[in-house]
Structure 1
Amino acid sequence: MIKVMIVGQKWLAEQLLKRCIDMGDIEVVLVSVPCLDDRTAILADRLAIPVATHGKTLVASAVPDGIDVILMAHAYCFVGANARAKARLGAIGYHPSLLPAHKGKTAIADAFNAGDAVTGGSLYQLDDGWDTGMVIDQAIIKIDNNDTIKSLWQDKLAPLGLLLFENYLKSIRYDI
């Protein structure tokens, strides 16, 4: 059984929580959200999964003992080294760009406004920087003429992040 903590919000974190439950061999030990009225918190509460809130930094005392990995899904908080060290495999985050290109909160808009023909998503190991950790997996998507910044996220990049998380979780099944 893989034990995870999900940190995040909105559609991506909610869908990641659902996917973890559907996979069957994953125990979501804790969900951490920026606010308790987030859809992820509401779902976790309905599933009797403990919910906590976090601020701009996820500290070690907020990470449960005995977890395998922290999954960062649409999370805008820094995870300190002591917090990452509490999870056997550290913290894994999804970023909606082909890292190292387009770091930060405006990555989708940056790719769109730069006129990039392609962009993508990166699953990476969090470190002490912002969007600077070792890339674990990436996938490319095409930016079509009818795309908008919103459609890139909703229709392409967010679902891609969910797929990358699922592939990662499947890949660590045999490491646990």
Structure 2
Amino acid sequence: MRITLVGSRHFGVTTLNMLREHGVDIVRVVVADAEDRLAATARAAGIEVVVQADPKLVVSAEIADDTDLIVAAHSHARISKKALAAARLGGIGYHPSLLPRHRGIAAVEWTIKEGDPITGGTVYHLADRMDAGAIAAQEWCFVKKGETARELWERALAPLGQKLLAEVIDHAKLHNDLPAKPQDEQFATNAPALSPH
């Protein structure tokens, strides 16, 4: 399976490493910043790196030829319809909430702000609307009392993301498709960036 990885930072690097362990061919890494640690890790591994022309949008020309699946890992860019169409199975991303709850850039922060006792992670199909595509895999976890967003991310949500992405990719390799369950819009909430106090 040929994968174009779109992402950044530590979660992008751990996803790159997980993908390499899962016997897929990472044909290209797409980043918003040429100096990002994901770009450096990919270059060191001999993987082609492409820097997005627009940091908020990934276009079809930035997806490698003959890509089977686009995987987004800590990417804040929208993947265009044409870019998704350039990959045989489209694209998936990981979101650190039980979608459709807390759609948006600050899902973990809103989980803490709202006092949610339970949260989780979702691997979902990339779509036109941010964080609104069909669910491919989802799993919950408890939130510890007094836990910060960063602590929750590092303890539970980042490892859960690796686990769920691996499960969906293994499914895709075995069945040549992606699981898909529509999100229930009646439970959708937004998680916009919180302004620093």
Distance 2:32 2:159 in 1: 21
Kindly provide the amino acid, as one letter, of the partner of residue 34 in structure 1.
A
Residue of structure 2 equivalent to 1:157:
157
Instruction: Give 1:175 deviation, angstroms.
Output: 3.3
Residue of structure 1 equivalent to 2:46:
48
Residue of structure 1 equivalent to 2:180:
none
Kindly provide the amino acid, as one letter, of the partner of residue 33 in structure 1.
V
Distance 1:125 1:57 in 2: 16
Report SS of the residue matched to 1:12. Answer: helix
Residue of structure 2 equivalent to 1:32:
30
Residue of structure 2 equivalent to 1:115:
115
5+ residue gaps, structure 1, are: none
Deviations along 1:88-144, one digit per CA (max 9) or x if unpaired, are 110101111000000101111111111110001100001110110001110101000
Distance 1:160 1:11 in 2: 14
Kindly provide the amino acid, as one letter, of the partner of residue 169 in structure 2.
L
Matches within 5 A, 1:86-101: 86-101=86-101
Instruction: Give 1:158 deviation, angstroms.
Output: 1.1
Distance 2:135 2:4 in 1: 20
Report SS of the residue matched to 2:144. Answer: coil
Distance 1:127 1:22 in 2: 27
> Structure 1: which 4+ aligned runs deviate by more than 4 Å?
none
Distance 1:85 1:26 in 2: 20
Residue of structure 1 equivalent to 2:179:
none
Kindly provide the amino acid, as one letter, of the partner of residue 14 in structure 2.
Q
Residue of structure 2 equivalent to 1:139:
139
Report SS of the residue matched to 2:172. Answer: helix
Give the RMSD, CA atoms, in angstroms. Answer: 1.0
Question: Within the alignment, does 1:4 sit opposite 2:7 as a pair?
Answer: no
Kindly provide the amino acid, as one letter, of the partner of residue 116 in structure 2.
D
Matches within 5 A, 1:70-85: 70-85=70-85
Number of residues paired by the alignment?
174
5+ residue gaps, structure 2, are: 177-197
Kindly provide the amino acid, as one letter, of the partner of residue 83 in structure 1.
A
Deviations along 1:33-92, one digit per CA (max 9) or x if unpaired, are 121221111111111100011221001111112111000000000011110000011010
Question: Within the alignment, does 1:21 sit opposite 2:15 as a pair?
Answer: no
Kindly provide the amino acid, as one letter, of the partner of residue 30 in structure 2.
S
Q: Give the percent of matched residue pairs that are identical in Structure 1 and Structure 2.
A: 33
Distance 1:35 1:163 in 2: 26
Instruction: Give 1:146 deviation, angstroms.
Output: 3.7
Kindly provide the amino acid, as one letter, of the partner of residue 15 in structure 2.
L
